[in-house]
Amino acid sequence: MSVLIVGSTALDSIKTPKAENPRLLGGSASHAAVAASFFSPVKLVGVVGHDFPKKYVRLYRRHKIDLEGLQRLPGKTFHWSGEYEANMNNRRTLLTELGVFETFTPTLPKSYQTSQFVLLANIAPSLQHHVLNQMRRPKFVVADTMDLWLNIALADLLKLLPRLDGFMLNDGEAHQLTKEDNVFAALKKIHKLGPKYVIIKKGSHGSILSGPKGFFICPAYPLHTVVDPTGAGDSFVGGMMGYLATAGNSINGSIRRAMIYGSVVASFCCEGFGLTQITRTKRKQINQRVKKLEMLTRF
Amino acid sequence: MSVLIVGSTALDSIKTPKAENPRLLGGSASHAAVAASFFSPVKLVGVVGHDFPKKYVRLYRRHKIDLEGLQRLPGKTFHWSGEYEANMNNRRTLLTELGVFETFTPTLPKSYQTSQFVLLANIAPSLQHHVLNQMRRPKFVVADTMDLWLNIALADLLKLLPRLDGFMLNDGEAHQLTKEDNVFAALKKIHKLGPKYVIIKKGSHGSILSGPKGFFICPAYPLHTVVDPTGAGDSFVGGMMGYLATAGNSINGSIRRAMIYGSVVASFCCEGFGLTQITRTKRKQINQRVKKLEMLTRF
């Protein structure tokens, strides 16, 4: 089955202590779509401007991503620029040019509206609502978010949560949302806001799922060198949704393994700037890392 | 087989946002010894003053801890006082009264010198050396440390590392020692300083082993409420060494499971002030949490 993914489609200018890379393909939907494409067909919903490079359209196409839902508007593509500190955890935004994103309203092609697996990747909660309003009985809807929406669109986000099957956020955001320092106490509170499956991402410390079958402690794949963590969380949830869409099994029966696949895809994402490394990755390499993670956690 | 444990034996006055507990039994050796005692006999090396409460001697005895190596000197017992912030991760020291610890020289009873498993719990590296000098061909020696020794006794610590089989430190200390932000890069550098097994503790994020058989990603046991994390790291390494001493198997064959047991013992430690919860814990409860950790990490 295919996954419908809505989110940002952007140009990212990324600076780390070791290098600087201008105008890479980025955005939550780009990262999630490429990650999901290793496992299932992807239908992309997003918007780009007149300056969006053709090579990035070709990149989507190489990953067999359905672009019927990608709007092309007059104006500039969303451009984000950020800088990472040496520890690769702290980053600061240098520049945000919304461009065509400012007036973006995602309208779903008819062929998208019956998708069973829906990923509302990081984007304004009002747009996540807008996409859901156009869907007909999806089977499994997951949303990601970011601290910005907790700050400026909390009411919209709180209204979204009961509409979701799964919700994903990082540990800092979970603290911001619940005021709980303890991750397990935070998970409990977030369930009360609606979603049956809640995943808290902890960067290089892995992630924690809380669902009907209890907790799952999901490791991050060990990396000696992180080149650029931008999009790692998007890759994680994209990989997870892609895997779930083709697993066939029940969600409960597949979600742990789906998270492991997401975790591995995210590790490849971190090994190159933007999408450069992940687009070179083969499914076989992903399977090898999944096997290795099994070895690394067995006791 | 028994484990020889040297470290601090102290009185801890601990303040958290929720409660204040004066003069609890504490110190790295106390926590490690009680933790190890669930799995194997323990020989304790430490020092206490004339004010050391009899009830704490009885507590050691209830855990069948051999006290032949516990010196009783005129003067006051080492007293540490600290305060935790609401997130239970940041703590600050309010008071350190070294007392009899200031002039402590650990002298090993004859019956201790042939111990096969030696835990040099957190204490000045010079004293860790001094204990090792008195040992006859131990099978497996592990040392723990803290940031203080990296600051004031780095040369001693660096001379200790080649004498160890295993070395344990937390992620902040690993960064301080190697200047590496990445935990896996830090592990590589620490191996070059001597120890074959290196374990980096990451608090509620678990721990990472790097050894001859590669990495092991060891989870922390999920806790909704942390009452007092003091001694969690000592309990972790104590439980690990206690388990290893009776596992019978090769170190490589047992160390992952030993870490899991250490992790579970540490979780009970965190659920009460000082040693109050762990001393109420039964071996059966430990086994149940180990089983649960298996369930929580399987995929």
- pLDDT tens sequence across A229-261: 999 999 999 999 999 999 988 999 999 999 999
Look-up: residue for tokens 């005021």? A179
Are B22 and B13 in contact by the 8 Å Cβ rule? The answer is: yes
CA distance B17 to chain A (A): 13
Are B2 and B43 in contact by the 8 Å Cβ rule? The answer is: yes
Q: What percent of chain A has pLDDT over 90?
A: 96
CA distance A1 to chain B (A): 22
With CA atoms as reference, the chain A residue closest to B227 would be A182
Structure confidence at residue B90 (pLDDT)? 83
Structure confidence at residue B248 (pLDDT)? 81
- Dihedral angle at the C-alpha atoms of A174, A172, A221, A36, nearest 10 degrees? 60
In whole angstroms, what is the distance from residue A282 CA to residue A262 CA?
14
Strand stretches in B85-151, DSSP E: 91-97, 117-120, 140-144
Helix (H) or strand (E) holding A104: none
The reply to whether residue B217 touches residue A222, judged by beta carbons under 8 angstroms, is: yes
The reply to whether residue A214 touches residue B296, judged by beta carbons under 8 angstroms, is: yes
Strands B10-15, B20-26: pairing is: antiparallel
pLDDT at A128 over 90: yes
With CA atoms as reference, the chain A residue closest to B258 would be A299
With CA atoms as reference, the chain A residue closest to B292 would be A215
pLDDT in tens, B130-177: 999 999 999 999 999 999 999 999 999 999 999 999 999 999 999 999
Structure confidence at residue B265 (pLDDT)? 98
Query: Which ipTM value was assigned to this complex?
Result: 0.93
In whole angstroms, what is the distance from residue B293 CA to residue B291 CA?
5
**A167-192 exposure pattern, b = at least 16 Cβ within 10 A, e = fewer:** bbbbbebbbebbebbbbbbbbeebbe
Among A184, A216, A224, the residue with its CB nearest the CB of B224 is A184
Structure confidence at residue B56 (pLDDT)? 98
> Would you say the pTM of this structure is higher than 0.90?
yes
In whole angstroms, what is the distance from residue A246 CA to residue A63 CA?
16
Q: In what order do the strands lie in the sheet with A140-144?
A: A65-72, A42-48, A3-6, A117-120, A140-144, A166-170, A197-201, A207-211, A214-218
pLDDT in tens, A41-77: 999 999 999 999 999 999 999 999 999 999 999 999 9
Look-up: residue for tokens 């008195």? B134
Cβ-Cβ contacts under 8 Å, A223 against chain B: 182, 184
**Could you say which residues of chain B have pLDDT below 70?**
none
Structure confidence at residue A90 (pLDDT)? 83
pLDDT at A89 over 80: no
Cβ-Cβ contacts under 8 Å, B298 against chain A: 256
Could you tell me how many helices (H) and strands (E) chain B has, helices first?
Answer: 10, 13
Cβ-Cβ contacts under 8 Å, A181 against chain B: 86-89
pLDDT in tens, A149-194: 999 999 999 999 999 999 999 999 999 999 999 999 999 999 999 9
